[in-house]
Each structure stands twice: as C-alpha cells, then as structure tokens.
Structure 1
Amino acid sequence: MSALPFMVNVEKMSIVVVGGGSVALKRTKALVLAGGFVHVIAPTILPEFFLLKCKGLISVEKRAVGFNECFTSELVFLCSNNKALHDQIYKQKAPRQHVYLSNKAQKGDFYVPAKIEKGLLTVSVSTAGASPSYTKRLKNQIDEMLPEYAAEELIFLQQARRRILHIPVNKLKKLALLKELASPTILQKENRQEWFEKRCEELERE
C-alpha cells in the first residue's frame, strides 16, 4: 500500500478502540497522550484501562462487539484478537470513517508508524508492517543520530520565528534570517540570543 505520511490532531475527534489487551492499550495510551478521548469496547479489559478511566481520560464499555455493529466515530482502532470481526467491521464501516486494523495494518485505511519525539521534533519510521523488529532497530539507530540539543534549539527557533514574522520588512529578508538562524554556526553560538536581538534591531531599522 502506498501511503502519505501526515500529522493528525485527534483532540476533537471521536475515537473507538475495539479490544482490551496489550495492543489496544498501546494504541489507547498513544491517543490519550496526543490529546484524544477514547471509548474502549471489549469483553475482557486489562486493569491499566481502568486507571485511565479513573483519570477521566477514556470511557470503557465492557462487552463483546457484534459482527453486525457499525460505529459512527471518526476513527476506529480494531485491536482485538478476532480477525474475522475486524474484517466484518471494516467492510461495513461508516462513510468518511477511517479504520485501523492491528492484525494487518497495511490493509486498513491508515497505520501508525514508530515515533521519536524530542520536544517539538517528531520523526516517524515505518516499514508498512513488513517487520516491526526492523522498524524498532531502525528507530533506535535514528534516535542515536539526532542532535543532542534538538529540543532546546527548536524552542529557540520557534520563538525567533514568531518575532521575525512580525517585523515589517521584505519577506525575502525575513526568510534569509530564518535560514541563517537554522544553521549550526548560529545555533551553537554562546551568545546566540544576543546575536539574534542585534539582527532583529538591524532589520527593524531598514
């Protein structure tokens, strides 16, 4: 399956997770961490789900999901151990609904890549379900390659960008300064902030 990677804001989306085991818990925790509110449905549910429920982060419905059910949520994560149930629910999904299949992720509407986060930096790694072990190894290798101070540098760049965009000068001059700021030479300056303030003052006088 050819896929287009993109970031999704799940804060205002309705989400159902079918399954109460370790895979469902992994997906639920990731969704909650991203700001989503999840409704979990399963006849048997791990205790960790109820801890999340007690914190008001998810809702839980302890029952079996029927083969004739059709959910109305925007996202459905099918994470049970019943492959036949997954296939049937996927076939009868609601219009404009996106469904994740844990047993064959590349056959669903989307799949969830491995993720590395360092502050504002997010790097995703996927092998389209070909080999989770290979994906994990590659993720660890990439993690070791990322700059040690990436999180701190990106906070500086974010704040700098906001200020530069409000300076009433030619757009090309703004872009030139933004590009200069992102260079290792500037980011690693000891007096980086002082240098930046001076450059902004120079732009404002133009």
Structure 2
Amino acid sequence: MYYPIALNIAQKKVVIIGGGVIATQKLRTLRGYDAAVTVIAPTLTEEGQTLLAQLNGQWLQRSFEETDVVGAFIVFIATNCLEVNEAVSAAVSPQQIVLRVDDVSKGNMLNQAVVRRGPLSIAVCTDGASPSLTRKLKRQLDEQFPPHYDTYVHFLAQARQEILATVPAANRRTLLQQLVDEELEQLVLTQQQEQAWALVRTWIQQAMKA
C-alpha cells in the first residue's frame, strides 16, 4: 500500500532515465512545479525536447552512468532496456524516491492521476491494481470539475483571507465552513462576482454581531 502525499519539488533534482514516450509523459507531468530536471538518454522525442526546454532542464545525450542519480530527489526509470533499468535500480539509494516504469515493485513511488484546478488538486491512485479504473475516475473528475472551477477555488482563498483579517478568532470557524456553499459556488462559477462578495460580506457582518 502506498502512502498518498503532496511534495514541494521546487528546485529539487529530478532525474529521468530514458527519452521515449514514457519519459516524455513524465516531463509533461512535471510542468509547473519548478523542479531541476535532467534527462539522461541517447535520444529524446521532439515533444520531450520542447517540454524540457520549457522546464529549463538539461539533456545529457548519452547512456546512463552510475553517478547520474547522486543527489537526485526523484528518479524516474523509464527506458525499454532491462539491463539499463536494473543498473539504475542498483545505483539508487533507499532514501531516494524512485519510480521504475517497467516494474513498479522495484521502486517506492507511483504516479497518481491528477485533476488540477488552480490550487485544488484531486489525485486518484489504485496502487497499480487497475490503471484503467484510475483513468476512468480521472475522466469523471475532469467532467465534474470543469477547467473554470479554479475561479471558485481562488475566490475561496480570497474570502478566507478577508475573514481572517476582519473576524474575531472565536467566530471564524463556522463562517469558514459556511463558505463551502452551493449558492456561493454557483454565483462565482456564473461570473456573478459582485453578488458573491455581497453574500460573503453579509455573512461576515452576521458573524461580527454573533
């Protein structure tokens, strides 16, 4: 069983061994996290090269060497060569986070399917039991939380800050819970920002009088 966790990988060394489709997919998932990414592979897909440039990463255009994983926070083993994969597995330490694509049992990490809407992240993982179910659930979550849902999440963050700045500590908890309200959600998602703020400030006034 895998322990679900969210990691801050900003400026952390992330090494990808391999330059094919799977390695490219891993590069795609690293966008937006500000990691220090290095790809080690004799060849890299065109999309992979584009993604790596966007990540300000580096490509070591050669075969794997044992020292390549020294100091790496996360190591993705993503080649189609068993010999190379075994060599990388032998080189990593138990303290490193390792995903070996061809045999996840030889690593200690699984990628989760993630739906991200601004600060909101919803992750799905079946511990490798059924990748098909993972993909199905991700599709359902994509539909349930459309791309513009991040507007609502950002609104909640702003409303929370206003409550923390203006409402006495004893009255905050109930009010913060009240923010997760269907009427408020619909006002924000239908771009009725003024009405949404009016509703929140009415609640703040009521809390101040309580």
- Deviation for aligned residue 1:78: 0.6
- Write the distance in 1 (CA, Å) between the matches of 2:11 and 2:116: 22
Moved more, 96-105 or 69-78: 69-78
1:133 matched to which residue of 2?
A: 132
Q: What does 1:104-183 correspond to in 2, within 5 Å? A: 104-146=103-145, 150-167=149-166, 169-171=168-170, 173-183=171-181
- Write the distance in 2 (CA, Å) between the matches of 1:184 and 1:43: 53
- Deviation for aligned residue 1:202: 4.7
> 3-state DSSP class of the match of 1:38?
strand
- Write the distance in 2 (CA, Å) between the matches of 1:151 and 1:15: 28
- Whether the 8 Å CA contact 2:175–2:207 is kept in 1: the answer is no
2:87 matched to which residue of 1?
A: 88
Aligned length: 204
Aligned in 2, Cα 1:7/1:76: closer, same or farther, shift over 3 Å?
same
* Structure 1 residue ranges without an equivalent (≥5): none
* Structure 2 residue ranges without an equivalent (≥5): none
- Write the distance in 2 (CA, Å) between the matches of 1:59 and 1:69: 12
Q: Which amino acid aligns with 1:187?
A: E
1:5 matched to which residue of 2?
A: 4
So what's the TM-score if we normalise by structure 2?
0.83
So what's the TM-score if we normalise by structure 1?
0.85
Q: Residues 41-75 of structure 1: CA distance to partner in whole angstroms, max 9, x if unpaired? A: 01122123333454562100011114686532111
- Write the distance in 2 (CA, Å) between the matches of 1:25 and 1:147: 26
- Whether the 8 Å CA contact 1:118–1:151 is kept in 2: the answer is yes
- Whether the 8 Å CA contact 1:116–1:123 is kept in 2: the answer is yes
Residue 193 in structure 1 maps to residue 191 in structure 2: no
Q: Which amino acid aligns with 1:145?
A: Q
> 3-state DSSP class of the match of 1:162?
helix
- Whether the 8 Å CA contact 1:106–1:129 is kept in 2: the answer is no
> 3-state DSSP class of the match of 2:31?
helix
More helix by share: 2
